[in-house]
Amino acid sequence: MEYKAYITPNPMTPNQCVVINPDLCIACNSCVDVCRSDVMLPNNDKGMPPYVMYPDECWFCGCCVEHCPVPDAINMVYPINQRVGWKRKKTGEYFRLGMKNPPPPNTKPPIG
């Protein structure tokens, strides 16, 4: 009797650390190689994006996103408690920590 082992992602996990766009991913597996906590495993099928096997183990360091050669092929999904943001009252602009073009710092002294 011949037994085969299959790798499938864990559908029961509530956490989602990264989202891989299968249309943009070129299956280079650079994200798998650079991941510090071995969250992803390479896919057995050629040309398919890697499996996100252990999303609860992710450190949210962003190495996988930074080393990806294709922009927006992989995106980090931060937990709600790490999504710090603020909104400017006058213009309605939304800002968050870590954004590429942050607003200039507030230089006004506090009231009171």
Instruction: Summarize pLDDT for 27-45 with one digit per residue, the tens.
Output: 999 999 999 999 999 998 8
pTM, to two decimals: 0.63
- Give the residue from 57, 45, 66, 71 showing the smallest Cα distance to 16: 57
Cα angle, residue 94 at apex, residues 83 and 100 outer, rounded to 5°: 75
- Asked if residue 71 is part of any domain, the answer here is yes
Instruction: Summarize pLDDT for 45-62 with one digit per residue, the tens.
Output: 898 999 998 888 899 998
The three-state secondary structure class of 3 is: coil
Give the CATH number for residue 83: 3.30.70.20
Which residue segment(s) compose the domain that 86 sits in? 18-96
What's the structural domain count of the chain? 1
- Asked if residue 76 is part of any domain, the answer here is yes
